[in-house]
Amino acid sequence: MMPDFRNDKHQRRDDELEIDDGAVDLTVLIAESDDESGIPPKLYRIGEVAEHYGCSRQTIHNYTIMGLIDEAGWTRGGHRQYDQSVFERIDLIQKLRAQRVPLERIREHFTRMEI
């Protein structure tokens, strides 16, 4: 028999689930299950990354060749693919470039950070 949710005894917020007289926050459960989903992370083609930043594919290619960003893999057709982490890296590159930090110095900094 389905519970009558119109009854005050069973009222609860939409993001809570009542279990054993206690409430469980569904946002916590969802966040915990994200890591265990087994769904592969999204990979982005060079054009998608370039479009996001409003720059050319050549710029993204140059950042890759210089070692500023790393590709996560390649398609069967030989196209580079990037994971989510590339966006954080490019955000940082752009902030440093806006302060006129040369790309070579940025690369040296990234190299030291990875050791």
Question: What residues form DSSP beta bridges with 23?
Answer: 18
Residues 27-40 as b or e (16 or more Cβ within 10 Å = b): eeeeeeeeeeeeee
What is d(CA 70, CA 79) in angstroms, rounded to the nearest whole number? 13
**Span 98-103, average pLDDT:** 94
Quote the pLDDT of residue 40.
72
pLDDT in tens, 11-32: 545 444 444 445 555 555 555 5
CATH number of this structure's domain 44-114, picked from the four choices 3.90.1150.10, 1.10.1660.10, 3.30.420.40, 4.10.640.10: 1.10.1660.10
pTM above 0.75, yes or no: no
Domain limits, CATH 1.10.1660.10, in the chain: 44-114
78 CB contacts (<8 Å, ≥6 apart)?
Answer: none
